[in-house]
Amino acid sequence: MTTMTEASVREFKMPDVGEGLTEAEILKWFVQPGDTVTDGQVVCEVETAKAAVELPIPYDGVVRDLHFPEGTTVDVGTSIIAVDVSGGAAPEAGTAPAAEQPAAPRPAEEPKAEGSGRQPVLVGYGVAASSTRRRPRKGPEVPVQQVSTAIQTELNGHGGAPSAAATAAPAVKERPLAKPPVRKLAKDLGVDLTTVAPTGPDGIITRDDVHAAVAQPQAPRPEVPAVPATAAPAPAPAVVSYDTTRETRIPVKGVRKATAAAMVGSAFTAPHVTEFVTVDVTRTMKLVEELKEDKEFAGLRVNPLLLISKALLVAIRRNPDVNASWDEAAQEIVVKHYVNLGIAAATPRGLIVPNIKDAHAKTLPRLAESLGELVSTARDGKTSPAAMQGGTVTITNVGVFGVDTGTPILNPGESAILAVGAIKLQPWVHKGKVKPRQVTTLALSFDHRLVDGELGSKVLADVAAILEQPKRLITWA
């Protein structure tokens, strides 16, 4: 059988989405070694800190190797799949996989089709123009003759075979290859990187390598000549253990990791203020039922969130200064003349906040259409990174979980967030009599650098007034 040459193998690297992200988790492979792929074919699905996206391969060929299994987090710029583009047949059954064959040097060229000018991209995003090649390792080069002299000196001193110290040549031992996050992980876990066997491309130590080293006893270090020590070295920190029958640990990564970082940053950057109002929304609930029968809304999702969204948009129109952001560098308040309305959505991968672009300009039927598309896309896990950027204000509907109200944290860069509680039948004074009415509690959190108490109160009061008397959607428009 003809052996495939390394010159015919193209390495497809984890692409840069241009959003400042440095890594992505491989969720699912759609191809296996031996499969034929064509230019533009989706080969895997990955999850970044913002969303799950599909990766297309940029050339034709036969899959030679998948470098990482599903569930692995891979740094941007790392090769994830090798494809033979020579046009040869797929590897025969029983042939040893590429991972078991002797390693050969990786081609230095970028994985793109010859003459096509194409580069690997995430769906809808270009790649950075800079190369991902590793820079030459810094440090003085030691001539081979100097190393040989050191070993010969060791031989002469011992009158026999070279000692472990001589053969190891500690003076010229290379520093293990590992990226800063991996080095920090090793330091936190007390792992000596010189004892870790690398499995990453070009001999790079990965996170999995460090965890594997923790799971097994450390190999003894090569014996070196004794030297006087001024103080005993500090013992390595003990590896934290836990009872797997009583505890479960879930890695924080992807969307959940990004959400956690964003919420902490928001909570400790923007001074939050939250105000509450309880309102009778009986008339709004009646209007929802009437709109469901209207032919203009045929096939559209009509629910209380639709009218709450419209009420907030009208309140912003009446109080435009609430729709703003804080420019820390310029020390300026930026008032937005458009509303990108964010809707917090709980998904299997965590909380995300896609937004409806230019929601202020949409009619009620078009707003209903946009809300329906936003929710269905989020539930399918197909929300794009672009859909989660540029929001100005957000609505979070905690009422769907039976919760009365809350104190929501601002989405970073936004001025306000409205929490909507559960709508319940409650005793309410209506026209001088206590009657059962549909009642809910609204909570508005806002950035006190941008919005003072008066402005925040006016916005919340306007939303409540519209929901109590929805005809104000017409009179205030």
Comparing CA positions, the residue from 94, 109, 29 lying closest to residue 63 is 29
What stretch of H or E contains 371? helix 364-379
Respond yes or no: is residue 337 known to be catalytic. Answer: no
Nearest to 97 by CA among 82, 110, 79: 82
Given its phi and psi angles, is residue 331 left (phi above 0), alpha (psi -120 to 50 degrees) or beta? Answer: left
CB 472 within 8 A of CB 466: yes
Give, for 150, the enclosing helix (H) or strand (E): helix 144-158
At position 270, the amino acid (one-letter code) is A
Q: Tokens standing for 218? A: 């450390």
Give the max Cα distance, the chain.
109
Query: Positive or negative, the Cα torsion across 326, 327, 329, 330?
Result: negative
Cα–Cα distance, 342 to 392 (Å, whole number): 7
| DSSP code, position 105 | P
Token pair in block for residue 159 = 């009158």
Q: Which two three-digit tokens encode residue 263? A: 């919420």
Residue pair 422/447 in contact (Cβ under 8 Å)? The answer is no
Catalytic entry in 158, 211, 430, 448: 448
The residues assigned a catalytic role are 448
